[in-house]
Structure 1
Amino acid sequence: MNAAGIVVEYNPFHNGHLYHINETKQLSNAEVIVAVMSGSFLQRGEPAVTDKWTRTKMALQHGVDIVVELPYAFSTQKAETFATGAIHILNYLKCQFFCFGSENGQIAPFLHAAERLKQQNNEFSRLVRSFMKEGVSYPSAQTKARDSIFQKNPLPLDLSKPNNILGLHYVQANNELGSPMTPLTILRKGAGFHDTEAKGSIASATAIRKQLIEKSGSIDHAVPPLSAAALKKQFLHSWELYWPLLRYRLLTIEPGQLASIYEIEEGIEPRLIKAALQSDSFAEFMQRVKTKRYTWTRLQRMMTHILTDTDKESMEQGANVSFIRLLGMTEAGRAYIRSVKKDIQVPLISRTASGSSLLSLDLKASRVFASAPRLPGEYAHSLLKQEYSTPPILL
């Protein structure tokens, strides 16, 4: 059986995701679609709008055959690390292809750009470090380094676009493994990544989440009917829900312990504490702490690690994919897993009773996800129970 892999968050599942699945099937002719999906907290440093089991079921209902979890140690990281973890998992699961959406829509520019960047890797890394010392953010330092190296012969890819950037990192991660999978890309359709208005049949996840949380209108035009029905029954999560818990952490944690939290560096601790004292909401807090050096996304990831009490040592220990956690399968997915299981080089976990230190980060993140002060008690209890008792969903 041929399998094609995709990397997803489904925050929430919408028509653009359905298009991605269908196009992946058509491009690859794969019999099975494998989705590596982030768990409770996501790459942009925010809680998922709903739990991973709900999102897994949405995926299985719309053409995905296997859903596995991208561990916290990768799902809450910068694009390079996020992509590396996901590609390693798809490789372990013996996928022949992987497919991502991009603003470019053609794979050749990604392959060409990855090769040229590899040739200039040492100089690129040196320039990034140099620009960061000047006080610019990591993404800006990367842009300035690329512009400096390739100013006379630019890369054939617009790397100001978020999906192009992530796609390039997928290709680079695959190349580092010896290119075991064939990369594919589809043109991203409809709304832009950061669009905040849910217009048309394909809207951005950002716009859909905003409309859901603010209850500012129907999302039915942008979300498949089964997903829309499920979302209407869900308690929706956002950073504001966790603000009291984050503020408590910031105002009670010892400075030395705060400095040990992953991504906290360069003396930002006093700024965070001062802003926590002065702010009545998460949005107000973020406006107070944002600087030229720290992007909104990087700050949100810092806050996620503070919220989950994730220190530098724990993330370093989780730097390699040491297991794969299975969240759900269709009948075709079960048949595929049976056919490749003996060749998977890391444990395939379907229950939380076993695992490594990497799994402990995911369990802790799920407990925090279920512990927001404003969650209804019965719902919070069900979330905690799900994490330990729910077997992979079978559809």
Structure 2
Amino acid sequence: MRTVGLIVEYNPLHNGHYYHYQQSKKTTNCDAAICVMSGHFLQRGEPALVNKWARAEMALRMGADLVLELPVAYSAQPAEWFAFGAVSALDACGVVDNLCFGSESGDIGWLDAAADALQQEPEHLRLLLQGELKRGAAYPAAFSRAVSQLVPGAREEELARPNNTLGLHYLIALRRLGSDIVPQTITRTKAEYNQLNITDKQIASATAIRKLLFEAQTLEGIGPFVPDYTRSILEREWNAGRAPINWEKFARPLMLQLLHHSPEQLAGFHEVTEGLEHRIRRAIAELPPLTGGAVVEGLLDRLKTRRYTRTKLQRMLMRILLNHSKQQLAADVLREGVPYLRVLGFTENGRKLLKRMKTAAKVPIVTKVTDGISPLLDLDIRATSVYALGYDRPGHRDLFRDYFEQPLYIASV
């Protein structure tokens, strides 16, 4: 059974994701698909619209055979570590033949050439990057400019596009892991990654769909852009008070963390860099009363500069909210790759994959959560508890759901 690996967030799963899934299996001639999916907190430092179990169900209803959770240690990281963690999970499965990712360029040739040049972190790249950062560029822009100067054929404007950037880091991760997985890419069409306006009758970005949903406070408008099962699952979660979730749901616990810690203590959290701990305190002092419903938005507006992107700041606030220290997420820890494979759901084909993985996987497979399996899994358990604070009526099973929830099984779709 040939298997393709997909790295996903599905926030929420929409028609563009379904197209990517179909084309990935077709392009790679694979019979099965494994999704490595971010949990409750995502790559841009945002909480997911709906919890990880609901999004895993969307993936299985679409046709994915096995859904594995990308630990929060990796899921809310810059592209390099996000990609490394996700690719290390696919590689650790021992049964994945291909990785297929979407990109704006649709051309893996120049991405491969760039990955070859960058896999050993050349000193010249580091010097170029430092130079751009000293000139005040945000890290993503600095990286794109530095790579375009180092790698022939790598254009800055193409490198700056988010799916191309992630694709490059997937290819670098495959090389650093010495993986046999064969990468391929599919052109992203009809909607850009962060495109807010909707320009097609069936395809819209997840960003645009979330915007539509939050502005209307109803699911009615998203119907043309998502499969029926996505809408049905969202409706169920909405009616249960478990959706929709955004940053403002965590304004009070976040403010408690920010006010409870001194600037020196804030500096110990992951992603708090270059004196941001002091900038946080000044920004809090400028906030209006905490009753307007846009507390986190106001904080981000006051923290943002040309140097610090919104994404960087969101990831920083998320690490403070979750109490993630620099030590817990040090490069030496992340460089080891995922230490386990957490199963969120599977189909009958997925059951067969899991049977093969019992002997082929490079790390333990987790279907039942207990304490002490891994420090990274402990972070995910705590992330679930914090995420549940965003529900309308969280109960103890919501707060500790990782212990109660068995992997979802769907026989067929």
The TM-score, its normalising length taken from structure 1, stands at: 0.94
| Matched residue, 1:343 | 360
Structure 2: state its 5+ residue gaps. Answer: 238-242
For the Cα contact (< 8 Å) 1:137–1:292, is it kept in 2? yes
* Residue 389 in structure 1 maps to residue 404 in structure 2: yes
- Correspondent of 1:365 among 383, 405, 412: 383
CA distance change for structure 1 residues 30 and 104 in 2, over 3 Å: closer, same or farther? same
| Matched residue, 2:329 | 315
Percent identity between matched residues is: 39
| Matched residue, 1:298 | 312
For the Cα contact (< 8 Å) 2:385–2:400, is it kept in 1? no
* Residue 111 in structure 1 maps to residue 135 in structure 2: no
* Residue 376 in structure 1 maps to residue 395 in structure 2: no
SS at 1:45's partner residue? coil
Deviation per CA, 1:288-320, whole angstroms, max 9, x where unpaired?
100121111000000000101111111127413
Q: Distance in 2 between matches of 1:309 and 1:119?
A: 32
> Per-residue deviation at 1:115?
2.1
Q: Distance in 2 between matches of 1:380 and 1:273?
A: 33
| Matched residue, 2:351 | 334
| Matched residue, 1:273 | 281
The residue type equivalent to 2:341 in the other structure is I
Q: Distance in 2 between matches of 1:257 and 1:351?
A: 35
Q: Distance in 1 between matches of 2:148 and 2:59?
A: 39
SS at 2:223's partner residue? coil
For the Cα contact (< 8 Å) 2:101–2:167, is it kept in 1? yes
SS at 1:67's partner residue? strand
Q: Distance in 2 between matches of 1:222 and 1:92?
A: 34
Deviation per CA, 1:52-74, whole angstroms, max 9, x where unpaired?
00000110000100000000111
The residue type equivalent to 1:183 in the other structure is P
Q: Distance in 2 between matches of 1:98 and 1:209?
A: 27
SS at 1:218's partner residue? helix
Give runs of aligned pairs for residues 160-171 of structure 1, distance below 5 A: 160-171=160-171
Give runs of aligned pairs for residues 166-177 of structure 1, distance below 5 A: 166-177=166-177
SS at 1:192's partner residue? coil
- Correspondent of 1:261 among 269, 275, 299: 269
SS at 1:262's partner residue? coil
| Matched residue, 2:154 | 155
- Correspondent of 1:226 among 229, 235, 243: 229
Q: Distance in 1 between matches of 2:212 and 2:396?
A: 27
CA distance change for structure 1 residues 27 and 154 in 2, over 3 Å: closer, same or farther? closer
Give runs of aligned pairs for residues 1-395 of structure 1, distance below 5 A: 1-94=1-94, 95-118=96-119, 121-150=122-151, 153-155=152-154, 158-199=158-199, 200-215=201-216, 218-234=221-237, 235-279=243-287, 280=290, 281-316=295-330, 318-319=333-334, 320=336, 321-354=338-371, 355-372=373-390, 375-377=391-393, 379-395=394-410
Structure 1: state its 5+ residue gaps. Answer: none
> Per-residue deviation at 1:381?
3.9
The residue type equivalent to 2:378 in the other structure is S
For the Cα contact (< 8 Å) 2:148–2:154, is it kept in 1? no
> Per-residue deviation at 1:118?
4.4
SS at 2:159's partner residue? coil
Q: Distance in 1 between matches of 2:56 and 2:316?
A: 26
For the Cα contact (< 8 Å) 1:191–1:202, is it kept in 2? yes
> Per-residue deviation at 1:248?
2.1
The TM-score, its normalising length taken from structure 2, stands at: 0.90
Q: Distance in 1 between matches of 2:83 and 2:261?
A: 32
For the Cα contact (< 8 Å) 1:370–1:381, is it kept in 2? no
Q: Distance in 2 between matches of 1:352 and 1:119?
A: 36
The residue type equivalent to 1:155 in the other structure is A
SS at 2:224's partner residue? coil
Q: Distance in 1 between matches of 2:57 and 2:33?
A: 14
